[in-house]
Structure 1
């Protein structure tokens, strides 16, 4: 029973955030918070002994579950019609925005081809290279783990200059060979463009202000968030998600 007040406080905080996001039409984010908050309330329900409190928590859980289900139906309908658009504002130092969180809702079973346009999958000097390329590697791993049939990934990025060019080419060549072992083809092209965009052949387009590199450098190799990107702090950025039906071309 001593843990119930703390659990209830956590549930209230998460569900309050869910309602705020819901009211701001940030439905995908609100749905995640509703689900987390509902689970916390269910843990509280299991811990309390008072029957009247149990009734209270059951009513609250049902209310939030009903709203979450309404959001699911609404979002799925918008997705099917190609009318879904959401803008996610990631605050400075925020956590919980791994590639799985941002991209998985749009990685459908029929997905076979992905385009990544990011000018900064490079910068080999001063170890920035590792972070940039590891971010792209993690994105590829996310696709491989998802319930889709990705067979081709297109990467359009800028080419490193001078002595660093061969190092960049070597790293991307290694990644290409590794993807081939997973029956995925990496199509690499270079350009001097400055756009940042990710497109799926199911029509979904994700634009991130900072591209894939919106995570902060961890404080150390043994700091929380070094391995798990859900726990990694982010830099402030904006994510826009919409469907190609709202554009002239994919």
Structure 2
């Protein structure tokens, strides 16, 4: 348990130094919880004293980060940028922006010109699944994409099937097509905006049908891309 806490808190410090504050905050909180458990379970007085001192140190930094994020969000100045390296793993949708999905998200808006092919539509389903799990007040998902000039009928059928599935959860799904769309972004009604250079399709195809990463995107090998995360307090109504 102690080594687990140390590993997580070490990662938190690394993210902190990289100014990936939202990631660092989650890691500090996770590591601190494990550290608190260690304090309550250990009988060694010296260990208890050491763990409490470290916990106070990390708690102070976590509170500082929380305050920093709040201040920058209030000023509309919060920014994070990260690069996903080619061949890396551990960058599934839950890790990438799951921390921004909460009970204040009623609407998720996706702009991605390539929600066309089977695997691209499946990526959209995965994002919707994550939204349904993490956003109890989610009532709308909207997609702006482009028509597949070679296979529009199948594209339409896939998206229509997703629409019917979301409707069972009382979530409205809207699709709008553009002939000029290029940029990719995900806009959440709680103010967070995530721009992924490659859109949702930043994973390499798995090398088989029964290999790690086929089902769990956290284990899927990634392509190189850049992710920009920022917050705006000016979102009133997403298109």
TM-score using structure 1 length: 0.79
- Deviation (angstroms), 1:114: 2.5
**CA 42–147 in structure 1, closer or farther in 2 if over 3 Å, else same:** same
Structure 1 residue runs without a partner (length 5+):
124-128
**CA 11–65 in structure 1, closer or farther in 2 if over 3 Å, else same:** same
The answer (yes or no) to whether the contact 1:197–1:211 under 8 Å persists in 2 is yes
Task: Please tell me whether residue 113 in structure 1 is matched to residue 100 in structure 2.
Answer: no
The answer (yes or no) to whether the contact 2:84–2:224 under 8 Å persists in 1 is yes
Q: How does 1:64-79 map to 2 (within 5 A)?
A: 64-79=58-73
1-side partners of 2:107 and 2:8: how far apart?
36
Q: Deviations over 1:16-40 (max 9, x none)?
A: 3322221232101212332344355
The answer (yes or no) to whether the contact 2:73–2:233 under 8 Å persists in 1 is no
The answer (yes or no) to whether the contact 1:83–1:245 under 8 Å persists in 2 is no
TM-score using structure 2 length: 0.83
Equivalent residue, structure 1, for 2:23: 29
2-side partners of 1:47 and 1:65: how far apart?
19
2-side partners of 1:184 and 1:168: how far apart?
20
Equivalent residue, structure 2, for 1:142: 130
Q: 1:174 aligns with which of 161, 178, 183?
A: 161
Q: Deviations over 1:96-124 (max 9, x none)?
A: 3332333333334343222211111113x
1-side partners of 2:173 and 2:62: how far apart?
38
Q: 2:146 aligns with which of 153, 158, 163?
A: 158
Structure 2 residue runs without a partner (length 5+):
none
2-side partners of 1:15 and 1:159: how far apart?
45
